[in-house]
Amino acid sequence: MDHSAALKSTPLVGVHRRAGAKMVDFGGWDMPVQYTGILDEHHAVRRAVGLFDVSHMGEIEVRGLEAFQLVNYIATTDVSKVKIGQAQYAGMLYEHGGFVDDILIHKVADDHYFLCVNASNQDKDFEHIAASNKFNCTVENAGPRYSQLAIQGPKGLATLQKLTTNDLSAIRYYHFADGEVSGTPARIARTGYTGEDGFEIYIDPSQAERLWLEIMQAGEEFGIKQCGLGARNTLRLEAKMALYGHEIGPSITPAEAGLARIVSFDKGDFIGREALLKQQAEGIKRKLMGFEMRGRGIGRDGYEITIDGTPAGFVTSGGPSPTLNKNIGLCYLPIEKAAIGQTFQVIIRNQPVDAEVVPTPFYKRAKS
């Protein structure tokens, strides 16, 4: 069936089509999966710079005297630690401890927080936050007011610096500045979903096409490439960054997903706290681990895992790693089997193929 009429699109859909991108339905959005090829685009980000349209991502703004109280109540992290101009990765949970979503919290002012959330979750997230708002503040589903571009890779700073008067080197990792890019107001964040240095900029949708073309031109001397969701996925997998619907979801808790570091029990009450404390007392039963294929074959999303012929879990994300030239993946394993060196089998088209648990992240960039 053709649902294309109902697909949402970003202001850059015309640019993508003219560039010959292969388009896919990504959670209801008409998005580019690749332009020249996933490998090509992946390597461009690791070695130079790549430009991604991530305008499908959602934005939610919380404003008012008690904006902090609301954000601290819906997030797993200690939001009091976030300074103005800083960004923080957090979980947002249901009472039962499973993920509503994972979010990026930006503190714009004492009474203003800007949240970046997953595209397919933005309406659900907005409703969850609005329904939890027993505080003196407002919640706005601001997605339509922003387009988001990601400039990622070791040459990301040099590329974007050509277009802005803001001193980008002064913006530290997981910090942001409100400034301008090529004369248009922009929230410039040193964040990303690739495991590489880079920036994510939030701009007015009317400026998206112009900036896209200007960034491509600015990056030409560095070998910039337009990158689609295919490369975004291989890059984030190598860096072991979670993807909603794969590593995290309503039936998965932060501790299971290896994200205990984003949970603060000392910060006061938050949604899901009771359930997480209970789980902490009882101990988790499964854990997210990274693996490499040892046999010939590629373990992919959803494939079953067995140990000695007994079902033991499933692959959450898997595929070839272009940087490491190995077949890698993430999977849930029973806690007693969740150890480096544990071997298991991935069922690939009815055949068990050997795999081994390895340390993660698979790829970590050299500190500059």
Kindly tell me which of 36 and 161 has the beta carbon lying closer to other proteins. 36
Would you count residue 38 as binding other proteins (CB under 8 A)? yes
Round to whole Å and give the CA distance between 5 and 11.
Answer: 16
Q: What is the 3-state secondary structure (H, E, C) of 95-142?
A: CCCCEEEEEEEEEEECCEEEEEECHHHHHHHHHHHHHCCCCCCEEEEC
Name which position in 13, 33, 48, 60 contacts other proteins (CB under 8 A). 33
Residue 17 in the binding site for other proteins (CB under 8 A): no
Q: Which residues contact 131 (CB under 8 A, 6 or more apart)?
A: none
The site for other proteins, by CB under 8 A, has a size of 20
Residue 19 sits in the site that holds other proteins (CB under 8 A) = no
Smaller CB separation from other proteins, 42 or 46: 42
In contact, 150 and 200? CB cutoff 8 Å: yes
State how far the Cα of 247 lies from the Cα of 51, in Å rounded to an integer: 25
If one asks whether residue 352 binds other proteins (CB under 8 A), the answer comes out as no
For other proteins, the closer of residues 21 and 224 by Cβ is: 21
The answer to whether the Cα torsion of 137, 143, 144, 145 is positive or negative is: positive
Among 11, 26, 27, 39, binds other proteins (CB under 8 A): 39
* Least spacing, CB of residue 118 vs other proteins, in Å: 20
User: In the numeric block, which tokens belong to residue 309?
Assistant: 């012929």
The CA-atom distances, in angstroms, between 175 and each of 63, 84, 85, 291, 335 are 19, 9, 6, 32, 35
13 near other proteins (CB under 8 A): no
Stretch that binds other proteins, among 117-125, 151-159, 268-276, 319-327 (CB under 8 A): 319-327
Using the minimum distance from each CB to other proteins, give the nearer residue, 98 or 297.
297
The site for other proteins (CB under 8 A) is made up of 22, 33-34, 37-40, 42, 230, 233-234, 296-298, 300, 319-320, 322, 327, 349
